[in-house]
Structure 1
């Protein structure tokens, strides 16, 4: 779904007053019923991550981390069955998964038999049965389940969705009988930065020649698109020529401003692909699918 900058800003303005919860997502859907739910979820997740990055330093000072741990410890002693960590995260406007990480790390610092490292913490967040304290394990698990923007569960979902859309794009290319090389094949050839697919024979989309296609299972907002341009898309353009980026969950309409320079944006697989096909009778002819 392609949104104007004004439509996008209206959605973002509403998101700023919401907390990171599934209840907030329901409010967002009710407020913008005509918008795709996948688009709204993607925008919500992106905006919440931006907020967490802006406030990260406030929550990760030694004083703040110790305060959170002591508040957790005190409350859980009063009622271990209550969702203490989840409530604490909501009180201080912090992602539940990030709060769980902070408290878990502080807990492990008191455990002389357990080394405190990112590897250990990540493994415990993925599998809470590894946490030596059963109460804390349950609290961390609740945070993981109730966080719709951060944590190992969200990471797995995002990875699966990304892979699903790459598979969908591959099926579309095969359906249109387009010859292509995939990312793994290109890496085997020694390329370091590669798009998802390179077309062995270029095609035309809306009058623009396309040599490569990149799949993004997200919404294309200003900050993410700017980062992708700098870190990926212009590198692809420099190596392989003009290309197409598919933001499956939509993008801000005004960002599609580099067509003349060779980067085209779409929110779905194009329906008007024109290919060059050899026929047994002679010359190369354009074929519209």
Structure 2
């Protein structure tokens, strides 16, 4: 995706109601738009997190005076799950316990509002984290199916860990294969859009180490990537990792590309 288009989508997408329109406007799968918004919100939260934490006592005062968690989320422009977490911390309560035992919380108002917050938060609720995990699993499943379809032997991340490997890509290829003129020894599946900032983070935390241990590899950004990102000596791909696919694999790819939070 060229940078101009990416910047336009990044600027335009503000909530889930924008997904369908922007997908049509830019001829992109819904999942691509959703992934860009998810990254946008993550970046926003990182910048604002400590500001909100420093206002925890104010948040609790407002809540005690009648403002709901959803209202506080709207007022402070911060995800409702994280507002709830901040309030619980200020109250001296365990987020993990409360989230998992809402029916046991004596304060009915608190329990009801936290339940509402978790049900409406598309990005930081337990359901949101499960959704992201499901995307990652589906992406890895597609790679495994594709490797098997191509009769390419591989070891999974878990199998590498059982061999005491410290840094483990999603797939290691004992017998390297050539993809787009490049020898590929490993494959990393990323069920995200590849933007410049996150790509550089992945290079430092993952890809650099994979290169040292296993040589050259391939990174798959299932939801595409912005033009200009690179990894010298390696292959960077979107979902088009092959010229043709088994029909079952193609259906899985279409399903992945159209996944977007909608609960």
TM-score interval (norm. to shorter): 0.7 to 0.9
* Corresponding residue of 1:219: 193
> CA–CA distance in 2 between the matches of 1:272 and 1:211?
20
> CA–CA distance in 2 between the matches of 1:129 and 1:269?
46
User: Are 1:149 and 2:123 counterparts?
Assistant: yes
* Corresponding residue of 1:11: 9
User: Are 1:195 and 2:166 counterparts?
Assistant: no
Q: CA deviation at 1:232?
A: 0.3
> CA–CA distance in 2 between the matches of 1:241 and 1:130?
53
Can you give the 5+ residue segments of structure 2 that lack an aligned partner in the other structure?
Answer: 245-263
For the Cα contact (< 8 Å) 1:206–1:272, is it kept in 2?
A: no
Q: CA deviation at 1:249?
A: 1.1
> CA–CA distance in 2 between the matches of 1:235 and 1:5?
28
Q: Secondary structure of 1:191's match?
A: coil
For the Cα contact (< 8 Å) 2:182–2:234, is it kept in 1?
A: no
* Corresponding residue of 1:163: 137
For the Cα contact (< 8 Å) 1:172–1:269, is it kept in 2?
A: no
For the Cα contact (< 8 Å) 2:180–2:235, is it kept in 1?
A: no
* Corresponding residue of 1:52: 45
Q: CA RMSD in A?
A: 1.7
Give 1:231-246 correspondences, 5 Å limit: 231-246=205-220
> CA–CA distance in 2 between the matches of 1:178 and 1:231?
27
For the Cα contact (< 8 Å) 1:216–1:248, is it kept in 2?
A: yes
Structure with max Cα Rg: 1
> CA–CA distance in 1 between the matches of 2:102 and 2:130?
16
Q: Which has the higher contact order (CA 8 A, sep 6+)?
A: 2
* Corresponding residue of 1:36: 29
Higher strand share: 1
Q: CA deviation at 1:59?
A: 0.7
> CA–CA distance in 1 between the matches of 2:180 and 2:143?
18
* Corresponding residue of 2:84: 100
For the Cα contact (< 8 Å) 1:220–1:252, is it kept in 2?
A: yes
Q: CA deviation at 1:227?
A: 0.5
